[in-house]
Chain A
């Protein structure tokens, strides 16, 4: 199983809503990532979890709150988002410390903030 599963695939939320994005993998990877991708741009790293601990936060606003409840799951909690937060949110996983292994990506969640 080389899949990273993200739910939901599409999400429309108002600026006062609270929602969560979910990501799951069963490849035994101990590094999981959230990326944000605007249209026609490359993915931008948001957070990295390594062995279920937050290791990198790329100065992401606090309205995005990541959570890694176990080695297979990664959540991104959203609250009081702005329209400019509308983007494709990609989750990825890999083995930490092994630069010769690829990161596997999910299909992403297309988020629209209205």
Chain B
């Protein structure tokens, strides 16, 4: 079975500061993908960044970077230079084989609020 854990139900960050959202995972599949999604109050899930289990380098996408520590099974999201529009729920997710099928499992989410 696969599991994603996000231990921070809520986070506050000052505008223009950096913030790290934590994510740990567990899977027996040696080949997996880790994703971060942003969900504003409107409901849509917006893909932010991806890290593959065999990738040697940490993924970066603009202001988003993923701090991937495979031995510790962690995939933390770092948002640099926070903006007011970054206020949203953030979900860590993992795609891996489970029961013979590719399944995506989500963590419980972290609600980020950016303070002006």
Residues of A within 8 A of B (CB): 31, 33, 40-43, 45, 48, 50, 55-56, 88, 90, 92, 96-97, 99-108, 110
Contacts and interface: CB of A to CB of B under 8 A. Distances in A.
B95 A99 contact: yes
Contacts of A31: 102
Interface of B: 31-33, 35, 37, 42-47, 50, 52, 91, 95-97, 101-109
A31 B102 CA distance: 10
Contacts, number: 63
A56 B31 contact: no
A100 B108 CA distance: 22
Contact of A42 (B32, B43, B96, B109): B109
17 contacts: A40-B109, A41-B108, A42-B107, A45-B104, A55-B101, A56-B103, A92-B45, A92-B104, A99-B31, A102-B33, A102-B47, A103-B47, A105-B47, A106-B44, A107-B42, A108-B43, A108-B44
